[in-house]
Structure 1
Amino acid sequence: MTTPHFYPVGTPGQPWGDTERAEWRARQVVQRHYADDVVAALNALPDALEIVQYGQLESITDTYPLLLAKTRNWNPALPTALVTGGVHGYETSGVHGALQFLRDHAQDYADRINLIVAPCVCPWGYERIQRWNRDAIDPNRSFRDGGRIVETASLMHWVAARNDDLLVHLDLHETTDSDAHEFDPALASRDGKPWHPETIPDGFYVIGNSENPEPAFQRALIAAVAPITHIAPADAQGNLVGLPLQSPGVVWGESRSIGACAGFTSARFATTTEVYPDSPRTTPAECNAAQVAAVRAGLDFALQAE
């Protein structure tokens, strides 16, 4: 008797090998273009921001320059903030929220804090609206051991080489309905494990680093976002994504130890934002605005705490 499988790639109970990864990769279709959406937007930014290529992602069919924007007139006497988006390429508001912040608000922080903004860490995933990179590896578990894939290693090495004293790191993410019907089943299939469906939080929340949670910082982000889009309530067990609620919209989880992007620096104030774009109560524009509000609130809080 054949056991029905919950995902179209793989065999129940067996981790994927090269054949399954290639089959999965062949199913991924380009749906938007990094050059049009990200590279062009970066090149249109004002001259106060310098565009830097910190790496290059190559495959048989694609080449992507890995780009960030940084303060051009860098002042070593000022604190430094890092903003990252598109670590999971399918999480759209992380990418466009970072770009919107650069376009509309970066100048507000001139002479107050040095900025480094990498708006789309994983362009292959961005184009295919995919969580993983082309080798079916989760970038947000790869920010450790010097970076386990090109996308993470390139950013980690560039940041480390500068030796900046980072005060803030905001990593912009989304939690989507596709996590439940596509990405979680794919993960279970890839690893040869059973799939246990999870509840998707309905609203915005943040995940503070449990190794250094900074509760007041996390609450400041929630307060800034609440007027823009709704904050996720806890589930019946008092949790969000399986983590105990610490305060409205705030949970703490491991970052550094699991290789999450928000944990790869020593920034005192670090968080992962999570927007819920699939709610009928919000819009794409509001999701982008929520990310911008979170970035601004994080920078403002950290500067006041200095």
Structure 2
Amino acid sequence: MNTVPATYPIGAPGKPWGAEERAEWLLQQTRQRSYESDVLSALERLRSRFDVQEYGRLEYGPDVYPLMAVRSRDWRADRPVVLVTGGVHGYETSGVHGALQFVERHTAGYADRVNLLVAPCVSPWAYERIHRWNAHAVDPNRSFRDGGQAGESLALMQLVASIDEPILLHIDLHETTDTDETEFRPALAARDGKPFEPGTIPDGFYLVDDTERPQPEFQQALIKAVEKVTHIAPADEKGEILGSPAADLGVIRYPLAQLGLCTSMTNARYRTTTEVYPDSDRATPEQCNAAQVTAVCAAIEYALST
């Protein structure tokens, strides 16, 4: 793991960022990969089998990003909806590619049982820059609430609100990376004028359930499926994963609505956030994508069986 700097290079310790610091931060962000090549081109290949729709557009300076979703072509009012989201944090690569891989390879068995809605890359600007935040230094995954500041989140919330059919399941695909500790959490502390408190990145896959409406049997069904593909994060000596008490093997709980997390935007009976660890020497990129796909398939199978 890289060494965490004593102080973040932007801003003054203890002082929240203003417009000047945010502008300085933005100047340091560079495009490192292509949303058009990696995501939009993959979606074009799906148009023969699915409805691919634009549900919003982001304009950041000269860059314009269409926000895209994939829908079942045979959408029916008597079928429940399965919502899959990826790339809410753009740097979390397997969330994006796992969602795309699921649609490309694994939807045939569900076509006549559910309505599928998949938003594979919620934050394309951040995807290209391998970053957690959007261009305004705002975390989209803390903005799924009234008054949220991220256009990425607002557009997705409006898309989901337009659905009349009941949403049975929402699975949001994420990663926890070493850069959470070396870059993103230090940047968050600096942005908000707070001290940075070092933590430990868990080695392995885990899930985030809802504190208010937990579904422990559902979460464990996913853990049992994914452990056949990659290793599950153990709790540390305090019985915690990433600073939160482990509710069960590979599962922690957050107050989803209070934090404005993506999985709080529906009243789906089954909701979970996956967390893949791509920096482990025990996991390849292919395993990370496979873990996401496996979690999605296991979630759908469990939801339909109950």
Q: Deviations over 1:213-270 (max 9, x none)?
A: 1101100110110011100000110011111111110111111121000111110100
Within the alignment, does 1:184 sit opposite 2:185 as a pair? yes
Cα distance, 1:187–1:204 mapped onto 2, change above 3 Å: same
Where 1:208 maps in the other structure, the secondary structure is: strand
**What is the identity, as a one-letter code, of the residue corresponding to 2:129?**
R
Tell me the CA shift for residue 47 of structure 1: 2.5
SS class of match (1:247): coil
Q: TM-score, normalised by structure 1?
A: 0.97
In the alignment, the residues of structure 2 paired with residue 179 and residue 48 of structure 1 have an alpha-carbon distance, to the nearest angstrom, of: 37
Asked whether 1:246 is paired with 2:247, we answer yes
Partner residue of 1:301?
302
Cα distance change on mapping 1:107 and 1:147 into 2, 3 Å: farther
Q: Name the residue aligned to 2:197.
A: 196
Aligned to 1:51: 52
State whether residues 139 and 150 of structure 2, in contact with CA within 8 Å, keep that contact through their aligned partners in structure 1. no
Post-superposition, which runs of at least 4 consecutive aligned residues in structure 1 deviate over 3 A? none
Q: Which amino acid letter does the alignment assign opposite residue 103 of structure 2?
A: L
Cα distance in 2 for partners of 1:276, 1:131 equals: 15
Q: CA deviation at 1:284?
A: 0.3
Aligned partner of 2:19 in structure 1 is 18
Letter in 2 for 1:83: V
How big is the shift at 1:89?
0.2
Deviation at 1:146, TM superposition (A): 6.0
1:72 corresponds in structure 2 to 73
* SS of 1:44 mapped into structure 2: helix
- Structure 1 counterpart of 2:84, which letter? V
Any conservation in 2 of the 1:57–1:151 contact (CA below 8 Å)? yes
1:97 is aligned to: 98
**Letter of the structure 2 residue corresponding to residue 124 of structure 1:** W
After superposition, where does 1:1-306 map in structure 2 within 5 Å?
Answer: 6-45=7-46, 47-145=48-146, 147-305=148-306
8 Å contact 1:203–1:275 — kept in the other structure? yes
Looking at structure 2, the residues matched to 74 and 119 of structure 1 have their Cα atoms a distance apart, in angstroms, of: 19
After TM superposition, the score normalised by the length of structure 2 is 0.97
In 1, distance between residues paired with 2:164 and 2:77? Answer: 11
Give yes or no for contact 1:85–1:95 (8 Å, CA) kept in 2. Answer: yes
Q: 2:138 touches 2:149 (CA, 8 Å); kept in 1?
A: no
2:87–2:122 contact (8 Å) kept in structure 1: yes
Which ranges in structure 1 are unaligned for 5 or more consecutive residues? none
CA distance in 2 between counterparts of 1:292 and 1:87 reads 17
Percent identity over paired residues? 56
State the 1:19 CA deviation: 0.5
RMSD: 1.1
**Contact 2:81 / 2:166 at 8 angstroms: preserved in 1?**
yes
Does the 8 Å contact 1:15/1:191 carry over to 2?
A: yes
Structure 2 CA distance for aligned equivalents of residues 38 and 274 of structure 1: 21
Return the offset for 1:162: 2.1
C-alpha distance after superposition, 1:93-142 (max 9, x if no partner): 00000000000011221111110000000000000000000000011000
Q: Which amino acid aligns with 1:183?
A: F
Say if 1:146 and 1:157, in contact at 8 Å, map to a contact too. Answer: no
1:60-92 Cα offsets, whole Å, 9 max, x none, are 120000001010110110111100000000000
8 Å Cα contact 1:5/1:11 also seen in 2? no
Of 242-251 and 199-208, deviating more is 242-251
Amino acid aligned to 1:61: P
